Structure 1
Amino acid sequence: MPAPGSRPSIRSPWRPRSRRCTDCHGTHGILPSSDPRSKVSKTQVATTCGLCHDKVLAQYRESIHGTAVARGVSGSPTCVDCHGEHTILGPRDPNSPVYGSNVSLMTCSRCHEDQRLNKRLGLPAGRLASYQSSYHGLAARSGSRTVANCASCHGVHNIFPSTDARSTVAKANLSKTCGHCHPHAGPALAASSIHVLPNTTGESRWIYYVRLFYMLVIPATLAFMLFHNFLDWFRKFLKHLAQYGSLVCHQRLSVQERIQHVLLLTSFIVLVVTGFALTYPDAFWARPIVAWEAAYPLRGVAHRVAAGVMVLAAIYHLLYVVFFRGGRRWVYDMWPRLRDGWDLLYTMAYYVGLKSQPPMFAKFNYAEKMEYWSMVWGTVVMVVTGALLWAHDLVLQYTSTLVTDLATVIHFYEAVLATAAIVVWHFYAVIFDPEIYPVKWTFVNGRAPLHEVRTGTGVASPVAPTPVEAAPADPRPPR
């Protein structure tokens, strides 16, 4: 017994009776485990463990593992190969290698999945793979604690080859072994194929032909469905595209506005990808970018170039709204108004069924205005914080690290907000909206179909909106 107040050197569920070092290694005649005379050598360790576990030792010595060790087969396991040496945990501990869900994956497979060992000893291969592909293996991988593992069928310490009458997997004993979990299955279950991989010689020919049938039918069926649906989609896509190409469609975006959109679109995508690649370099989409870092700082250069393009796009847009009539009109139409709040409330009421008709919107509705002014705000914030980080050394000559640290935090979270908003808000409006899908082509040719055109500044009362067909005509020319 350990001295009072001392901690046992071995973690085990029997800690009050845990052993001292000398119980296993000896006292004055301590020898390395490689010495056959050592109490913890390959051939002696079972005897050492048997000083406390005598019944288990008797079973082990008669088993295929014990007799193999006695014959000098170094690849055969002993107590420590399965239970560990100093960190020995009980079978009910989830961290133990002999815990129910760990036996097959952590313990038995160490030897039975060793190709060199299997080849040297003439052991069958693929045992773990066949177990994992069976119901037992699939349930174990899903977290089941009651499903059978290797030891459930083959035994624990009393493991014998299937040709031995004492084996729990001997032909005469299979019904009893399987009956522990399947008491009403009868001999049919025991007569079934065991440890058989698909498409191998041990598989039933009936199963082989049924599998072959589905391997042919599944791709053929899906190929027909995909081909049929592609033709259906393509015809509808052409019809959808024709709405934007028709000359009767109204011009919603001018050439300059489309150029600004392309500059913003491309620079934003590059900034998002290269920016988050710095934060998440191990992500699958970031690896092709950061892989160049050892030879050339591709990510940083691309990020700064894209930032420059976005700044130029912002300057272009600013000049456009100041010096061009169309730009000034853009800002006028985009300017937030009290009516937008009413439109939002009325639209939400329509969505939940409290109103029978949606409100009449101006040229730009509340959703588009929210996105536009968020883009303006976000661009200013990202340009300012990005410039502070770009000129890091210069900034630190006049300020403290708190400024650059704040810029880093703001730059990151503003990027997260902008990216998420584009995916959730903008992508829905131009891609995933059922009336728009697969994409709103206005950004290409500037046109919009009639049902999407809103030409006025708002002609319907937010209290009693008028249906689209009954709306009074706007005297101004359509945009």
Structure 2
Amino acid sequence: MNKETLEYQRFNVTERIQHVIMLTTFLLLSFTGWALKYPEQTVEHSSWLVKIWGGAKNAGIVHRIAGITMLLDFVWHVFYLGYMLSTGKMKIRKDTTIIPLPKDVIDAIKNILYFLGIGKEKPQFGRFSYIHKFDYWAVFWGMGIIGLSGLFLAFPVQSSYFFPSWSVNWIWEVISIMHSDEALLAIVFILFWHFYNEHLKWNKFPMSMTWITGKISIEDMKHEHPLEYKLEFGNKGDNK
């Protein structure tokens, strides 16, 4: 914690770099993917999306490079987690873990009841609320479907050895639909779930700076992560 500015270091520089790479590649994949999905002149606004990248070929190259970079970033993150846990720099505690717990289900129900005016008490969150956990683990789900199908589509000749001959008439269409539809779901999810919860809420608008600085104010920490605040500072933090 920085005593002068009363801020708490929530994310270190490695975690922020991983997030920036994920953000950048996600945007590149979204724009190039949409352009490649609807390149026809008859689809409104789609033709200029392809022209921005210098044509479908260039858009495809950027799309593949961004996709591979995202996958490498994801692998880096997984190994990073393993390193942090194995060295004891990261510990699994119920009030700080990103792992979903039964409490998260209870918190979600409490939050819904509170918003509906039925419940009188808001749930108390630790380092990560059920919203953060859903947001985080959705990446693992997406990487499994979008990432794997993307690799198949990027390297069709090599991938064809994994599929039996009787599936050749339909397997590529299924993979293409999986890749495209899951990508669309990811874009909608990021726009309406992640962006709202992390940037567009009234107390964070127009943007939370935590993803850049890695810091959160003590007042915000008390309000948004009271269980983590008590764990880190206990009663001493009440005098801050």
- Asked if TM exceeds 0.5, the reply is yes
Q: Compute the displacement of 1:315 (Å).
A: 1.2
Secondary structure of 2:76's aligned partner: helix
Task: Write the distance in 2 (CA, Å) between the matches of 1:433 and 1:322.
Answer: 33
Whichever residue aligns with residue 248 of structure 1, its letter is L
Whichever residue aligns with residue 255 of structure 1, its letter is V
Whichever residue aligns with residue 411 of structure 1, its letter is H
1:449 is aligned, of 191, 212, 217, to 217
Matches within 5 A, 1:394-433: 394-397=158-161, 398-399=163-164, 400-433=168-201
Task: Write the distance in 2 (CA, Å) between the matches of 1:285 and 1:405.
Answer: 22
- Equivalence for 1:188: none
Is residue 204 of structure 2 the alignment partner of residue 436 of structure 1? yes
- Equivalence for 2:101: 337
TM-score normalised to structure 1 length: 0.42
**1:378, 1:414 within 8 Å by CA — same for their partners in 2?**
yes
- Structure 1's 254 and 417: CA in aligned 2 closer, same or farther, altered over 3 A? same
Matches within 5 A, 1:146-165: none
Q: Compute the displacement of 1:279 (Å).
A: 1.4
Is residue 143 of structure 2 the alignment partner of residue 379 of structure 1? yes
Matches within 5 A, 1:203-282: 247-281=5-39, 282=43
Task: Write the distance in 2 (CA, Å) between the matches of 1:300 and 1:327.
Answer: 40
- Equivalence for 2:130: 366
1:354 is aligned, of 107, 118, 140, to 118
1:392 is aligned, of 156, 169, 174, to 156
Task: Write the distance in 1 (CA, Å) between the matches of 2:191 and 2:75.
Answer: 25
Superposition RMSD on alpha carbons, in Å?
Answer: 2.7
- Equivalence for 1:284: 45
**1:322, 1:328 within 8 Å by CA — same for their partners in 2?**
no
TM-score normalised to structure 2 length: 0.82
Deviating above 6 A after TM superposition, structure 1's stretches of 4 or more consecutive aligned residues are: none
Task: Write the distance in 1 (CA, Å) between the matches of 2:47 and 2:195.
Answer: 22
Q: Compute the displacement of 1:290 (Å).
A: 3.5
Whichever residue aligns with residue 364 of structure 1, its letter is F
* Deviation readout 1:355-398 (Å, 9 max, x if unpaired): 23311111100011011111111012111100111121333354
Is residue 68 of structure 2 the alignment partner of residue 308 of structure 1? yes
Q: Which ranges of structure 2 fall in alignment gaps of 5 or more residues?
A: none
* Deviation readout 1:202-252 (Å, 9 max, x if unpaired): xxxxxxxxxxxxxxxxxxxxxxxxxxxxxxxxxxxxxxxxxx9x7311111
Whichever residue aligns with residue 71 of structure 2, its letter is V
* Deviation readout 1:111-155 (Å, 9 max, x if unpaired): xxxxxxxxxxxxxxxxxxxxxxxxxxxxxxxxxxxxxxxxxxxxx
Secondary structure of 1:448's aligned partner: strand
Percent identity of paired positions between Structure 1 and Structure 2: 26
Is residue 231 of structure 2 the alignment partner of residue 474 of structure 1? yes
Q: Compute the displacement of 1:403 (Å).
A: 2.2
Bigger radius of gyration, 1 or 2?
A: 1
* Deviation readout 1:385-438 (Å, 9 max, x if unpaired): 001111213333543242222111110110011000000100101221111111
Whichever residue aligns with residue 22 of structure 2, its letter is L
More relative contact order, 1 or 2 (CA 8 Å, 6+ apart): 2
Task: Write the distance in 2 (CA, Å) between the matches of 1:372 and 1:342.
Answer: 19
* Deviation readout 1:68-120 (Å, 9 max, x if unpaired): xxxxxxxxxxxxxxxxxxxxxxxxxxxxxxxxxxxxxxxxxxxxxxxxxxxxx
**2:38, 2:46 within 8 Å by CA — same for their partners in 1?**
no
Whichever residue aligns with residue 250 of structure 1, its letter is Y
**2:31, 2:49 within 8 Å by CA — same for their partners in 1?**
no
Whichever residue aligns with residue 149 of structure 2, its letter is T
**1:277, 1:283 within 8 Å by CA — same for their partners in 2?**
no
Whichever residue aligns with residue 58 of structure 2, its letter is L
Task: Write the distance in 1 (CA, Å) between the matches of 2:233 and 2:177.
Answer: 47
Task: Write the distance in 1 (CA, Å) between the matches of 2:115 and 2:232.
Answer: 30
Task: Write the distance in 2 (CA, Å) between the matches of 1:476 and 1:319.
Answer: 30
- Structure 1's 436 and 475: CA in aligned 2 closer, same or farther, altered over 3 A? closer
- Structure 1's 329 and 272: CA in aligned 2 closer, same or farther, altered over 3 A? farther
Secondary structure of 1:250's aligned partner: strand
Q: Which has the higher helix share?
A: 2
Secondary structure of 1:334's aligned partner: coil
Secondary structure of 1:346's aligned partner: helix
* Deviation readout 1:421-458 (Å, 9 max, x if unpaired): 0001001012211111110000010011223322646x
Secondary structure of 1:322's aligned partner: helix
**1:386, 1:411 within 8 Å by CA — same for their partners in 2?**
yes
**1:385, 1:410 within 8 Å by CA — same for their partners in 2?**
yes
Task: Write the distance in 2 (CA, Å) between the matches of 1:313 and 1:287.
Answer: 30
Secondary structure of 2:231's aligned partner: coil
Equivalenced residue count is 219
- Structure 1's 444 and 362: CA in aligned 2 closer, same or farther, altered over 3 A? same
